[in-house]
Amino acid sequence: MSSRSQNLVLPEGTSTLIRNLINERTGMFFDNGKSDLLIDKLSPLVIERGFSSYLDYYYLLKYDSSAEVEWRNVMNALSVQETYFWREIDQVKALVQTLVPQWQARNTGSPLRIWSAACATGEEPLTIAIALNEAGWFERTPIEIVASDASTNAIDRAVKGIYRERAFRNLSPQLRDRYFDSEASGWRVRSDIHSRVKWSIANLIDESQIAPLASADFIFCRNVFIYFSESAIGRVVRSFSRFMRPPGYLFVGAAESLLRLTTDFTLTEVDNAFVYINRERAA
């Protein structure tokens, strides 16, 4: 724990109160082994508010009329924005090579909808857009890609569309040169690809925010559930199941499994990639 957070008062039981409130409002769960990490991440916000005690900050988040504004600061402080282009690309290839053709064969007129539900700084939805463009899909069928994150800072960076070398560690130099322009501050994604993605703010725990986004054919929600409690995962996945267009496909991260947490989706394999299909809506 940093020295500045050690200067703040942490009354007994307060870390548990804050942890449970964070879980209730964001889905993120800091178990007993990570309580110090949570407290340390919040310490700058407590200090900026002029508080000397974390309990005062808890009361602000729980009861104050300005809490909604402060929750945005909390989401920015806690969000994990580590991602990169072409991450877990087998799932994107399965989408482009197999699932999109299957969708096109049974649909006419309506646009194909893809939602990147926890897009961080935008590498995932842009990867999807690049892969679709490489396969020529934008010329063959109408496609809508929406990307959201609960962090306003992350979405601000995604909207700017400028990335540094670390984001390209899994992307070939050929594709980088084709879709990005070099600038002094990094690499800027080409405007024709960047404009394929519509960016928004959405907290996965807030059903009113995700309902219009979840009415998609394909949802990518990868590497976010590893930070959620099991109850929060179940809550979010049930919302996905209710709002998705049938049959509805859900992609989660390689380190994540829904098998013990939901009966709404069944796991299947497509082109050596795992994907969950909405069981009830497909039926």
Q: Give 229-275 pLDDT, tens digit per residue.
A: 999 999 999 999 999 998 999 999 999 999 888 889 999 999 999 99
Determine what percent of the chain is predicted with pLDDT higher than 90: 87
Residue with tokens 């010329």: 139
Mean pLDDT, residues 185-195 taken together: 97
Question: 220: exposed, middle or buried (C-beta count within 10 Å: 0-12, 13-18, 19+)?
Answer: buried
Using 50, 70 and 90 to split pLDDT, how confident is the model at 20? Answer: very high
Residues 6+ apart with CB under 8 A from 101: none
Coil vs helix vs strand at 80:
coil
Write down how long the chain is.
283
Distances (CA, A) of 25 to 21, 75, 237: 6, 10, 16
Q: DSSP letter for 88, please.
A: T
Rounded distance between C-alpha atoms, residue 102 and residue 158, angstroms: 30
Provide, rounded to the nearest whole percent, the portion of the chain with pLDDT above 70: 96
Instruction: Say if residue 212 is preceded by a cis peptide, omega within 30 of 0.
Output: no
Task: Return the pLDDT at 6.
Answer: 56
What is the full DSSP assignment across 106-166? H--SSPEEEEETT-TTTHHHHHHHHHHHHTTGGGTS-EEEEEEES-HHHHHHHHHTEE-GG
pTM reported for the whole predicted model: 0.93
- Go through 179-200 and write b for each residue having 16 or more CB atoms within 10 A of its CB, e for each that does not: bbeeeeebbebeeebbebbebe
Convert the pLDDT of each residue in 101-150 to its tens digit.
999 998 877 899 999 999 999 999 999 999 999 999 999 999 999 999 99
pLDDT of 3: 45
Kindly indicate the confidence band of residue 283, based on its pLDDT and cuts at 50, 70 and 90.
Answer: very low
**C-alpha closest to that of 175 among 193, 195, 148:** 193
Question: If we measure between CA atoms, which residue out of 43, 121, 49 comes closest to residue 79?
Answer: 121
Residue 56 to residue 111: CA distance in whole angstroms: 49
pLDDT band, residue 281 (cuts 50/70/90): low
Instruction: Tell me the pLDDT of the chain averaged across its residues.
Output: 93
The answer to whether residues 91 and 275 touch, using CB atoms and an 8 Å cutoff, is yes
| Sheet strand arrangement including 180-183 | 162-163, 186-189, 180-183
